[in-house]
Amino acid sequence: MLVCYKDSIMNNEIDVTTDKFLGGELVIRQPKNGYRAGIDAVLLGTAASTIHANDIVELGCGVGTALLITAKQRQKNNPVRKGLGIEIDHIAASLALKNIVANGFGNDLQVETANGLVANSTNENSFELAVSNPPFFDDGNSIRAPSTTRETAYIIGAPLLVWLKAMLRLVKSNGHILLIHRADRLYDILKALQGRAGDIRVLPIHAVEGRAANRVLICAKKGSKAPTQILQGIALRAHQNDSKYLPEIDAICNGALTDIFIGLSK
């Protein structure tokens, strides 16, 4: 459903769609144009729900989809005690707050409009888990640049190292960070985590069975020196032209709990 959203800060209007996630258990309002939450948010949020953590923060939460998916899945077993979304874009942050309230999590989740890459003593060392779907491009000229409406969500404006260091600042000693990112940035991520986190678990995500992974889910433990593990990957579709996901992925999208992410933290 398409509606018009009135932004109270800038006093402008944007087209917003109302979309269902987890088989309709969550209803998310998000901009019609620009960055839109999809399968990456579902995988990230569901994976985060399998990690034992009472206090969770999402860096760059957008309209709150992944954070809400985590909270919704955790409702079934060991609810989240405290959740915070940090988002620099005030329109996205405003929608995130509306989505949180509309889905019944107004007492459990909060949103902070801020540049999460800047050190903030209020939030540092406060959470057991930090999750993120970092923007994909350090340099908009390095790969085909996104449209201007997606630029904020896709271009970091700072090295990936800065983003990962910000995530690590947010978690307590022995806390975990969890992110989903491009598979071709795996080397950069591992290098950035060197000396800062260990017990790194890498879960390859294959868009199509039999093809190289194009995404990775990475979980790391702050301050740990445990070795890195490459987990058995998951595939989303059997064939490139399939309109539907494989049954296990489709079940995740419809809200089913799954054990395919358990290896990320155990």
Confidence of residue 35 (pLDDT cuts 50, 70, 90): confident
How many other C-beta atoms can be found within 10 angstroms of the C-beta atom of residue 63? 31
Taking each helix axis as running N to C, give the angle between helix 186-193 and helix 160-170, from 0 to 180 degrees, rounded to the nearest 10.
Answer: 50
Provide mean pLDDT across the span 240-260: 93
What type of residue is 53? Answer: A
d(CA 179, CA 260): 16
pLDDT at 247 over 90: yes
At 258 the pLDDT is 85
Provide mean pLDDT across the span 159-167: 93
Provide mean pLDDT across the span 133-141: 63
pLDDT at 9 over 70: no
At 6 the pLDDT is 45
CB 171 within 8 A of CB 198: no
CA terminus-to-terminus distance, the chain: 40
Complete domains list, the chain, with CATH: 2-264 (3.40.50.150)
At 145 the pLDDT is 37
Q: Which of 21-35, 99-113, 169-183 bottoms out in mean pLDDT, i.e. has the lowest?
A: 21-35
At 26 the pLDDT is 97
CB 71 within 8 A of CB 64: no
Give pLDDT tens digits for 144-161: 333 444 444 444 445 799
Better pLDDT: 12 or 149: 12
At 14 the pLDDT is 81
d(CA 103, CA 218): 28
CB 217 within 8 A of CB 243: no
Taking each helix axis as running N to C, give the angle between helix 90-102 and helix 65-74, from 0 to 180 degrees, rounded to the nearest 10.
Answer: 20
What φ, ψ does residue 137 adopt, rounded to 5°?
-120, 125
pTM over 0.75? The answer is yes
d(CA 215, CA 18): 26
Helix (H) or strand (E) holding 55, with range, is strand 55-59
Q: How far is CA 85 from the centre of its chain?
A: 10
d(CA 138, CA 160): 7
